[in-house]
Amino acid sequence: MKLKFTFKIWILIIVLAFSLLAIFGMPPTFIKSGVLITSIDSNSTAFEQGLRQGQIITEIDGQKIISLEDFSNALQGKYDSNESVKTIIKTENSGVILFSDQPPEITVSEIPKTQINLGLDLSGGARALVQAKDKKLSSAEINDLVDITSNRLNEFGLTDLKVLPVSDLGGEHYMLIEIAGATPKALEEMISKQGKFEAKIGNDTVFIGGERDIASVCRGDATCSRVERPVQIEGGYASRFLFSITLSAEAAQRHADITNNLTLSLNNSEYLSKKLDLYLDDNLVDSLFIGKGLKGRITTQIQISGSGTGETGEDAVGAAQESMHKLQTILITGSLPYQLEIVKLDTISPILGDEFIKSIFMAGIAALLAVSIVIFIRYKKFKSSLALLITSISEIIIILGVASFIRWDLDLPSIAGILATIGTGIDQQIIILDEARQDKYLSIKQRMKRAFAIILGAYFTALVALIPLYWAGAGLLKGFAVTTIIGITAGVLITRPAFTDMVKKIED
């Protein structure tokens, strides 16, 4: 029998072609060489010079970069001295020149072979489900919280992240934060505290963090932002940081009014009687002396300082840099509008994700082959088994293609949705095969119509049941709902009609 492609089969072929294009891109991503920048510190020299997340590094100092090993070898030993060195980094479309005594503050990975976005469950990282403490937020309030939190985390240098508003079926609103490829340490620290910064003289507040009182914060400029050399202390080392801020006119006036009432210190006449106390979340983090020349004076320039400690000098400098960066971020963004609490915090290893994908892939192929063999044994037709296998694989490709096109992240619930779609699809294809063999008094066309009526009824029943899952579990089951809806819709509109035409050709 010579199989002629019908209109419905051609539709399936065209959709498959577009799906493969969406999955692999044009030109295909698997033929590209280099390493992908997955994250970059927004306060770094590399960022200022033009390197961005998503760019592909192809060359460093004239050396071709094909793998992560090449990237590591190109930088190894280059920054052993404390002197600034020149580094030329070329990407696919541009190049930058860096002068620094530190390696570029970027994270790189192998270039993905496809354009499928893997969710946190598969790529690894940290996920937190957060809600306001002792307060039920409205939809507008949770959206405002998402905007503020996104700003703060981006200022903190966590660029490879997603912050989304979600809700459950009970109407509770939450904030979902995901940082792919990261540990939960920074995430938990940044969102479990409100980040309320206050500078006080005695009981009087001079200024708080945020744009109302802070006009600018010095970052990345050695003339007004630095970490000093570590000094040895009991039990380790300590390193002090300093950076300047510019106050608004109102905050500067408050500073003048408060200091105008102070006297000189009895212990040291070079300073005023009270210090400028810095509080973070109501905890005293530092106290700064106020020079006598600032008494009653309107000044917009204030220097903030603090320290970091560690077992080694390097650890102390790192702790000081981290503390300074955090304090600078809070001064820029201000405090969060509510105290937050973490409802659920997950950490996933990327190694587990890789192993899970391999296991699911092998199990899926084995299941499809097993079903095809059972179909062959039951119907004694190799073509029917082959048609079922082709149709089931086509559905998977279409789901992945649509997910790539809409930039949907595939997570564990999404994988479960794909498996559910395969099972539903096989059930419906068996219905078509059974109807094709039943009631020979009806034409094959009439039998296929009857089979399709059953399939449509099952489709709308499943669709109605899946829609509530989009919001169930505070949005954590959204992946299952979306992928399953994509799969069963593609089945009813594309793969089932094509399979029906295949069966007609086989039975004729």
Instruction: Name the CATH topology of 7-27+350-507.
Output: Multidrug efflux transporter AcrB transmembrane fold (1.20.1640)
In this predicted structure, what is the pLDDT of residue 389? 82
User: Pairing mode, if any, of strands 225-227 and 236-247?
Assistant: antiparallel
Query: From CA 228, how far away is CA 234, in angstroms rounded?
Result: 18
Instruction: Name the CATH topology of 125-193+343-348.
Output: Alpha-Beta Plaits (3.30.70)
Q: Average pLDDT, whole number, for the chain?
A: 79
Q: Which amino acid is at 46?
A: A
Helix (H) or strand (E) holding 11: helix 7-24
pLDDT digits (tens, 9 = 90+) for 356-378: 667 767 777 777 777 778 777 77
Beta strand spans in 248-384 (E): 276-280, 283-288, 301-310, 340-348
> Tokens 């309107």 — which residue?
298
> Tokens 């914060």 — which residue?
217
Instruction: Look at residue 226 and tell me whether its pLDDT is greater than 80.
Output: yes
- The tokens for 269 are 């006449």
Q: Which residues pair with 239 in a beta bridge?
A: 308
pLDDT digits (tens, 9 = 90+) for 65-114: 888 888 888 887 777 766 778 888 888 877 888 887 777 877 787 777 78
In this predicted structure, what is the pLDDT of residue 444? 63
Query: From CA 247, how far away is CA 252, in angstroms rounded?
Result: 6
Helix (H) or strand (E) holding 499: helix 496-507
In this predicted structure, what is the pLDDT of residue 281? 73
Q: At what angle do helices 412-437 and 444-466 cross, to 10 degrees?
A: 160
pLDDT higher at 344 or 357:
344
In this predicted structure, what is the pLDDT of residue 186? 58
pLDDT digits (tens, 9 = 90+) for 197-218: 788 988 888 888 877 888 888 8
Instruction: Look at residue 486 and tell me whether its pLDDT is greater than 80.
Output: yes
Query: From CA 174, how far away is CA 152, in angstroms rounded?
Result: 17
Query: From CA 147, how far away is CA 165, in angstroms rounded?
Result: 10
Query: From CA 288, how far away is CA 302, in angstroms rounded?
Result: 10
Query: From CA 16, how far away is CA 395, in angstroms rounded?
Result: 9
Query: From CA 347, how far away is CA 102, in angstroms rounded?
Result: 30
Pick from 408, 401, 386, 503: which is nearest to 450 by CA? Answer: 503
Burial class from Cβ neighbours inside 10 Å (0-12, 13-18, 19+) for residue 232 reads: exposed
Pick from 197, 187, 131: which is nearest to 158 by CA? Answer: 187
Instruction: Look at residue 154 and tell me whether its pLDDT is greater than 70.
Output: no
Query: From CA 379, how far away is CA 368, in angstroms rounded?
Result: 16
Listed ranges 27-31, 134-138, 188-192; the one with the highest mean pLDDT = 134-138
- The tokens for 411 are 């997570």
In this predicted structure, what is the pLDDT of residue 18? 92
Q: What share of the chain is helix, strand, coil (3-state, %, to 5)?
A: 45, 25, 30
Instruction: Look at residue 441 and tell me whether its pLDDT is greater than 60.
Output: no
Percent of the chain with pLDDT over 90: 1
pLDDT digits (tens, 9 = 90+) for 170-191: 778 888 887 765 555 656 666 6
Mean pLDDT for the stretch of residues 138-163: 71
In our burial notation (b when 16+ CB lie closer than 10 A, e otherwise), range 280-296 reads beeeebbebebebebbe
Q: What residues contact 23, with CB distance under 8 A and at least 6 apart? A: 114, 115, 116, 397, 400, 401, 404
Burial class from Cβ neighbours inside 10 Å (0-12, 13-18, 19+) for residue 467 reads: exposed
The pLDDT confidence band at residue 1, using thresholds 50, 70 and 90, is very low
- The tokens for 94 are 């541009």
- Say yes or no: domain 33-110 is CATH 2.30.42.10: yes
What is the number of alpha carbons within 13 Å of residue 126 lying toward its C-beta?
Answer: 19
Mean pLDDT for the stretch of residues 338-355: 68
Locate the domains of the chain by residue range. 7-27+350-507, 33-110, 125-193+343-348, 197-335
The pLDDT confidence band at residue 474, using thresholds 50, 70 and 90, is low
Q: Which amino acid is at 380?
A: K
Query: From CA 229, how far away is CA 350, in angstroms rounded?
Result: 37
Query: From CA 476, how far away is CA 176, in angstroms rounded?
Result: 9
pTM above 0.85, yes or no: no
Instruction: Look at residue 159 and tell me whether its pLDDT is greater than 60.
Output: no
Query: From CA 2, how far away is CA 421, in angstroms rounded?
Result: 31
Q: What residues contact 406, with CB distance under 8 A and at least 6 apart? A: none
Query: From CA 416, how far away is CA 422, in angstroms rounded?
Result: 10
